[in-house]
Amino acid sequence: MDLNVYIFQKINGLSGKNRWLDALARAGGELVIFGMLGWFVVSVWMVPDFSGQFVGRAILTLLASGAVGWAMNWILAAIIREPRPFLAIPADKEMFRPLFPKLFTWKSFPSDHSMWSFTIFFTALVLHLPLAWPLALLALWVGIGRIFAGVHYPGDIVGGFAVAAFVGAAANYLINVVKF
């Protein structure tokens, strides 16, 4: 058995054993990303040298980074075509399925939720937003929640992180080095 499946089964195997843990994981897998987005927007307004121009630049940076990351995710997914764990592993304990199951069951790697949550974190770092570092913990919560819920392997989460890190590095270069 490969390490990716082994770790998945260890984390996913905890599902259904404790209702509080299930609730925390489900919140991480579905809702925390919206809280992260809210945190990002509030943090933009808390910047000491705040200006209306900064708000627009921050939102545009997040949207552009996310769009590039999402495009990269879809290209990688089309090349790799890894099915979701609930299709590949019969013993999987799934908490929920994708919104459009027939469209998205083939796309497990890389995780879009993971990519978006880490993109929010990296964009907050690139823009030097206050309280950016706690977003890393929330992004990890999203990733672990997706594994716990049975919709992604750990490698999918790492793939989403890697795409977000690449896009974040590119955004950092454009904003802080090129002064774009």
179 or 14, higher pLDDT = 14
User: Two tokens at 94?
Assistant: 């799934």
Q: Which domain holds residue 20?
A: 3-177
Q: How far apart are the first and last CA of the chain?
A: 47
Secondary-structure breakdown of the chain: helix, strand, coil percentages, each rounded to the nearest 5: 70, 0, 30
Q: How far apart, in whole angstroms, are the C-alpha atoms of residue 52 and residue 162? A: 31
DSSP state of 95: S
Closest CA to 76 of 139, 159, 150, 3: 159
Per-residue pLDDT tens over the stretch 90-108: 766 766 665 665 666 678 8
Average pLDDT for 32-56: 84
Closest CA to 61 of 178, 174, 177, 162: 174
What would you report as the CA-atom Rg of the chain, rounded to the nearest whole angstrom?
A: 17
User: Two tokens at 23?
Assistant: 């609730």
pLDDT at 95: 64
The answer on pLDDT for 63 being more than 90 is yes
Q: How far apart, in whole angstroms, are the C-alpha atoms of residue 72 and residue 68? A: 6
The answer on pLDDT for 71 being more than 80 is yes
Q: How many CA atoms lie within 13 A of 174 on its CB side?
A: 12
CATH for 69? 1.20.144.10
The answer on pLDDT for 1 being more than 70 is no
Residue 38 CB burial class (10 angstroms; 0-12, 13-18, ≥19): exposed
Q: How many domains does the chain have?
A: 1
High-pLDDT (> 90) share of the chain, %: 57
Per-residue pLDDT tens over the stretch 136-173: 999 999 999 999 988 899 999 999 999 999 999 999 88
pLDDT at 125: 93
pLDDT at 151: 87
Q: How far apart, in whole angstroms, are the C-alpha atoms of residue 23 and residue 70? A: 27
The answer on pLDDT for 119 being more than 80 is yes
